[in-house]
Amino acid sequence: METGQPETKAVWKKIDLAAILIIGELVAWLVFAIFQNARNDLFFYPNLINFFGSALNIGLFMALSVPLAALACLYIAYLLGQKIPIIFQVAKFISVGILNTLIDWGILTVQVILTGINVGFGYSIFKSISFMVAVFNSFVWNKYWTFKKNDTGKTQQELLRFLLLSLVGFCINVGVASFVVNVIGPQGGISPNLWATVGGASATMFSMVWDFAVYKFIVFKK
């Protein structure tokens, strides 16, 4: 039940353990998939193959190590949150943000690979699709985990506010990505496919601060 009172310290719950391990596992395999797509552009990738023996071994190592690293980082944030509660909440938001980002990049990468379209209006359409999927994922995780708004009665209102305010984030995200890809273009010998992902990464940096402020103070305010 919501009391309307601000939290005085961070509280660790079982859902935090489950959520961060799930997020860590998803992040691990999404990063692995993106690495596989960019393997010809990553100068260190052959050395990784030599060290681990195969790409599959790299994936398995990440599947084990990334969730544990994510858990350790979140628990440290929880300990710091005993003094400053918002640190724990920001850590959750960043965790969800990393997952959203990789979902965004991953779906974008799959579309580029399947169609061969990595520039122009088609790329902007693909970026729009991947962004919207990531936004829906963000709404679910942030509502029920980061900001703990478990009441269902206001879900439709929250979703409407979320979608309307996300339009600004959408314009920032797609606009920056399209500018990087269509105006600046590949730099430093990077392939067009990898540069398409660079465009997505650039967009994320510009929209993350906006997203946190909107979610905390407007969409999921208590």
> pLDDT tens digits, residue range 160-197?
777 777 778 778 878 888 899 889 988 888 888 788 88
Helix (H) or strand (E) holding 128: helix 120-141
Residue 51 lies in a domain: yes
Residue 84 lies in a domain: yes
Query: Comparing C-alpha atoms, which of 198, 156, 193 is closest to residue 177?
Result: 198
Q: Is residue 222 predicted with pLDDT exceeding 80? A: no
Residue 29 lies in a domain: yes
The mean pLDDT of the chain is: 84
Residue 8 lies in a domain: no
Q: Specify the pLDDT at position 3.
A: 41
Residue 4 lies in a domain: no
Mean pLDDT within 72-99: 92
Residue 82, classed as helix, strand or coil, is: coil
Task: State the total domains in the chain.
Answer: 1
Distance CA 100, CA 62 (A): 18
Residue 6 lies in a domain: no
Residue 9 lies in a domain: no
Structural domain boundaries enclosing 33: 14-219
Residues near 82 by Cβ (< 8 Å), separated by ≥ 6?
9, 10
Residue 199 lies in a domain: yes
Q: Is residue 143 predicted with pLDDT exceeding 90? A: no
pLDDT digits (tens, 9 = 90+) for 98-123: 998 899 888 888 888 889 888 888 88
